[in-house]
Each structure stands twice: as C-alpha cells, then as structure tokens.
Structure 1
Amino acid sequence: DWLVTDIPGTTGATFGQEVVCYESPRPSQGIHRFVFVLFQQLGRQTVYAPGWR
C-alpha cells in the first residue's frame, strides 16, 4: 500500500505528501497485484489515510 497526494504536475511522487507509507508485498502471501491510480486535483486538498490501516 502507498498513498501520495498533492504531487505537482511537473515533478514526481517524491515531491508529494505521503499519507500512507509504502509497504512492500510479503513473499509468503502468494500472487501480488500492482494497481496504479492517478487523479488530477484542481488544487491542494486534505486527504486522510484509510481507517483500516
């Protein structure tokens, strides 16, 4: 899991606000799926980490 917000359009994820730290998959948990989702924001917004983390 990894959640980064407010990434300026001309930069990379390292310039954004990390809301949920990266957690690599554990080898003993079988098949893994990677999903990349990108949303364009009109401006900075307050984003909270999911409650289940």
Structure 2
Amino acid sequence: LVTDIPATTGARFGQEVVCYESPRPSMGIHRMVFVLFRQLGRQTVYAPGWRQNFNTRDFAEL
C-alpha cells in the first residue's frame, strides 16, 4: 500500500504504508489487482489491521 504518490509515473515517490507480500502458496494461478485512489491532498493513511477479506469499498470511504 503506497500513499501520497505525486502526479508522476512512479510509485517509488510515494510513502509505503504496507510492503508487498507475494501470493501464498507460490504455485498456481493468482489474480493481481492494482487499484488507484485519488487523494485530495496529503493525508494520514493507516495500514489495515487485517489483510484477509480486505474491503476496498470500506477503505475508500475512510
């Protein structure tokens, strides 16, 4: 989870809140989804306490 990405083409300029974890198990087919939310300005975004059943709709409303 990366926040405060300036209007550039690279997420490396943002603030990493949660680091990437590879899918488990490492075998088989996995679906990866990248979702972008526009921030109106810099704001504090907290790491979700639970990765399983993460709800993007609830997260977007925060």
Q: Give me the TM-score of the superposition, normalised by structure 1.
A: 0.78
If asked which structure has higher relative contact order (CA below 8 Å, sep 6+), I would say: 1
**Matched residues in 2 for 1:50 and 1:29: separation?**
26
SS in 1 for 2:16: strand
Deviation (angstroms), 1:10: 2.2
State how many pairs are aligned: 50
Deviations 1:18-47 (A, max 9, x none): 000011223545321100101111100100
> Judging changes above 3 Å, is the alpha-carbon distance between structure 1 residues 40 and 28 closer, same or farther for their aligned structure 2 residues?
closer
What percentage of residue pairs aligned between the two structures are identical?
90
CA distance in 1, matches of 2:48, 2:24: 20
Superposition CA RMSD, Å: 1.7
Where in structure 1 do 4 or more consecutive aligned residues deviate above 3 Å? 26-30
TM-score (norm 2): 0.68
2-structure distance, mates of 1:29, 1:49? 27
